[in-house]
């Protein structure tokens, strides 16, 4: 007889969602995490009355009623709408690409004028699918926007030529001929008013959680505790890097406080120029509009090369890593007692709602 139905390794979005589903079904689970806090990279921390997104900005958005209903059980969401701006060569542009962007770029005032301008400089793919990120961007918005707002940012972010990156990375950015600055097309969007950490505390209510414990250092003893294991850590780490390391993009965060109420006037300001090392500056208080703090917390985000002591952020979607991942995936399928899920175990550039969806599906298939 095992002590628990499930041992869940990782208290991030996949682990916490799975744990909630298990507990709601009246089954018993234990959640462990090697960090000293829950919530994975969604973790937020209060500073000066401001919720700071410690591992980078997390803006929740989805189209799915079931997922939206699920997260609203654990947090009151505000109606934050992500409307980033980008600075390039000293000028400010709106994101995603919309009439404000086209107006600032070319002075055009109507959708027809914008369309003409885009058509005059966009790459004609003659009916074929874009083969890479550069083709995707050039065929959608043309040369000016690509050169000013995409090429520099993307090269800094991924440290690769946009020609060597998949089109899918940028497909998530809408292109609109309307005066609409909303970064996402989704029906639902917002940020938990009290921060993500409180949301995760609520998700994990009544569930046993042990922090600061390393599953892989003692996996046999942990495995004996449960009927099944849900592993949400790095899949290559689980298999002792047998086929080599999977690569990630890492980030360096430089966080500081300014003694002023409002520093940059927006939650997210991107930097398109390639000679500015950082990709964006986050002003955390603007994620909760109406925040009354007299000071402000900012984070400068600079992409960094991957090394195993860094926090893994973005899986790198190139062929070498995809091939390596599929070898690990094959091994994972033969692990009888262990289920792999989440960004690190599935090696996928996931949004939060996609992680929840993946946990729902996994639970339905094995729960």
Gap between the Cα atoms of 220 and 222, Å rounded? 5
Q: Which residues pair with 226 in a beta bridge?
A: 4
Least distance CB 301 / ligand UDP (angstroms) = 9
Q: Is 76 a catalytic residue?
A: no
**349 is known as an active-site residue:** yes
| Segment 29 to 58, residues that bind ligand UDP, using CB under 6 A | none
Interactions with ligand UDP, residue window 159-218 (CB under 6 A):
169-170, 172-173
Q: At what angle do helices 352-366 and 13-24 cross, to 10 degrees?
A: 40
Alpha carbons 287 and 10: distance in angstroms, whole number: 26
Annotated catalytic residue, options 73, 76, 172, 210: 172
Residues in the chain: 367
| Cβ(101)–Cβ(286) below 8 Å | no
Question: Angle at Cα 347 formed by Cα 43 and Cα 349, nearest 5°?
Answer: 65
Q: In the stretch 140-159, what mask flags binding to ligand UDP with x, by CB under 6 A? A: ---------xx--xx--x--
Q: Which is nearer to ligand UDP, 83 or 86 (CB)?
A: 86
Does the annotation count 324 as an active-site position? no
Note the Cα 200 to chain centre separation in Å. 16
Nearer residue to ligand UDP within complex by CB, 6 or 158: 158
Active-site entry in 33, 236, 247, 301: 301
Of 120-139, which residues contact ligand UDP (CB under 6 A)? none
114 binds ligand UDP (CB under 6 A): no
Question: For residues 93-112, which are near ligand UDP according to CB under 6 A?
Answer: 95
Element containing residue 171 per DSSP (H, E)? helix 168-171
Which residues contact ligand UDP by CB under 6 A?
Answer: 86, 95, 149-150, 153-154, 157, 169-170, 172-173, 270, 272
Residues noted as catalytic? 172, 176, 249, 280, 301, 349, 351
């Amino acid at each position: 007889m095992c002590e628990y139905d499930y041992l869940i390794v990782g208290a991030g979005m996949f682990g916490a969602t799975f744990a909630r589903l298990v507990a709601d079904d009246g089954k018993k689970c234990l959640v462990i995490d090697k960090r000293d806090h829950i919530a994975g990279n969604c973790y937020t921390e209060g500073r000066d009355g401001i919720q700071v997104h410690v591992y980078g900005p997390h803006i929740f958005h989805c189209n799915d009623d079931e997922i939206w209903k699920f997260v609203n059980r654990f947090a009151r969401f505000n109606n934050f709408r992500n409307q980033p701006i980008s600075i390039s060569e000293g000028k400010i542009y709106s994101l995603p690409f919309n009439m404000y962007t086209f107006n600032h770029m070319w002075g055009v005032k109507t959708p027809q004028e914008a369309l003409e301008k885009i058509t005059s400089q966009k790459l004609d793919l003659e009916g074929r699918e874009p083969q890479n990120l550069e083709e995707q961007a050039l065929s959608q918005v043309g040369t000016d926007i690509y050169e000013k707002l995409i090429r520099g940012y993307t090269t800094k972010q991924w440290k690769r030529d946009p020609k060597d990156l998949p089109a899918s990375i940028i497909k998530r950015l809408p292109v609109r001929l309307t005066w609409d600055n909303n970064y996402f097309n989704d029906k639902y969007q917002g940020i938990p008013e009290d921060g993500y950490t409180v949301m995760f505390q609520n998700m994990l209510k009544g569930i046993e959680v042990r922090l600061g414990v390393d599953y892989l250092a003692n996996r046999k003893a942990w495995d004996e505790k449960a009927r099944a294991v849900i592993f949400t850590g790095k899949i290559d780490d689980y298999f002792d890097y047998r086929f080599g390391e999977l690569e990630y993009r890492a980030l360096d965060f430089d966080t500081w406080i300014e003694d002023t109420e409002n520093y940059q006037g927006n939650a997210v300001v991107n930097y398109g120029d390639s000679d500015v090392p950082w990709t964006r500056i986050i002003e955390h208080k603007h994620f909760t509009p109406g925040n009354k703090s007299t000071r402000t917390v900012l984070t400068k985000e600079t992409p960094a090369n991957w090394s195993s002591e860094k926090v893994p952020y973005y899986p790198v979607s190139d062929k070498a890593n995809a091939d390596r991942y599929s070898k690990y995936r094959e091994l994972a399928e033969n692990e009888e007692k262990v289920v792999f899920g989440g960004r690190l175990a599935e090696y996928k550039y996931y949004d939060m709602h996609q992680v929840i969806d993946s946990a729902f599906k996994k639970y339905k298939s094995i729960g």
